[in-house]
Amino acid sequence: MTELEERTLRAYRVHREDKKVRGRLEEVKLGELSEGDVVIRARYSSVNYKDALAATGAGRIMRHFPLVAGIDVAGEVAASGDDRFSPGDPVLVTGCGLGEDHDGGYAEYARVRGDWVIPIPEGLDPFHAMCLGTAGFTAGLAIVRLEHNGLSPDKGPVAVTGATGGVGSLAVNMLSGLGYKVSAVTGKKEASDFLEELGASEILIRGELDMGSRPLEKATWAGAIDNLGGETLTWLTRTMDWWGSIASIGLAESHELNTTVMPFILRGVNLLGINSVATPRALRLRVWERLATDLKPSRLDLIGTRTVALSELGDIFPDYLEGKVKGRTVVDLQR
C-alpha cells in the first residue's frame, strides 16, 4: 500500500482550536489516516444527526482531534491486506467508530479494519447503500430485534416517533412493506403527505397528543421504534400492549427517561436498546442482507432526495441540529 499511502486526498477534517470545534475541507495523505488493513476508494457517504453533532461540536462524539468526520462510507476496495477482500469489491462500512475515534467516511479514500467491512449485497449499489447508511441499518436492526422479541404484523400497530427523520422515514417505509400498520408520530404536520406516501396508516402530531400521566394508559402498540427519548418514550412505555417491545434508538427530545416498572412487570413490555456502532459482525451481515431484500425500502426515491458534494458539507449540518431535515442526504465524495 506504499504508493497509495503517499496519495493526497480531500477530506472533511474536524479540529479543536481555541476550545472550539471546527470542520473544514482540506488535503491529507492517505498514510496520515487512522490505521487499517483495507483501503476503500470512497464513492458516497451520508449525513446523520450524529455527524452534525460531531462535525460542529454540538455533541461530544469525537474522541480526539483532528479527525476525518463521517460515520458511513461506501465504494470499492482499492487495496487490502485482508484475504476476504480484493481490489474492486463493492463494500461499505457504517458505525464501528468511524468519525468517532477512527478517521471517517468524509474523504476520497478511507482506511479501515477488515472486520468492519461489509460486502455490498446484491440488490444494492454504493449510492443506494448510502441512501440507507447508518439510518437504514439502525432501522433494520431495530426491526430485526423487534421480530426476535415476537413482533409480527398480526399483533397490532407499530408506532414510529421522529417519523420524518432518516431512521424514522426508513422505518415507516420498511414496516409498511412488511405488512405492518404503522402510526407515524411527528412534530411536523406539514409532512403528513410525505409520511402517507411512505406507507403510514396513521399520522399523529406529537404536540396534539394527550400522553396521560398514569403508570399505565390504554394498551395500544404492539411495537414501537423511538428516536426521541424523554417524555415521548415515557408515553410509549405506558401505552404498549401486552408483551409489546420498544426499540430505543435516539434522544432527539431528551436523554432522560422517567417511568415506572409497571409496564414491564404488569404488561411484560420489553425495552430494547439499539446500538448501531458495536453490532456483532454476524448480525451486521444479516441485517444488510435483509436491507437488500425484504427490508429494502420501496420509496428510497422519496426518502433520499438530496445529494451534496463533499465541498458542501459544512453548510448543511445546522439544518440537522435545528430539526429541519426530512429524509436522507447522500454525500458524493468525488465532487
Using an 8 Å Cβ cutoff, are 222 and 158 in contact?
yes
Q: Concatenated DSSP letters for 110-143?
A: EEE-GGG-EEPPTT--HHHHHHHHHHHHHHHHHH
Model pLDDT, residue 4? 78
pTM of the model: 0.94
User: Mind listing the pLDDT tens digit for each residue in 94-104?
Assistant: 999 999 999 99
Show me where the domains of the chain are located.
2-120+305-332, 135-273
Model pLDDT, residue 79? 96
Domain 135-273 matching CATH 3.40.50.720: the answer reads yes
pLDDT band at 1 (very low <50, low <70, confident <90, very high): low
Phi, psi torsion values for 285, nearest 5 degrees: -60, -40
User: Mind listing the pLDDT tens digit for each residue in 206-215?
Assistant: 989 999 899 9
Q: How far apart are CA 204 and CA 293, in angstroms?
A: 29
Q: How far apart are CA 200 and CA 6, in angstroms?
A: 50
Measuring CA to CA, which residue among 45, 102, 67, 74 is closest to residue 316? 45
pLDDT band at 324 (very low <50, low <70, confident <90, very high): confident
Q: Of the CATH numbers 1.10.150.80, 1.10.730.10, 3.30.470.10, 3.90.180.10, which one belongs to the domain with range 2-120+305-332?
A: 3.90.180.10
- Amino acid symbol at 110: A
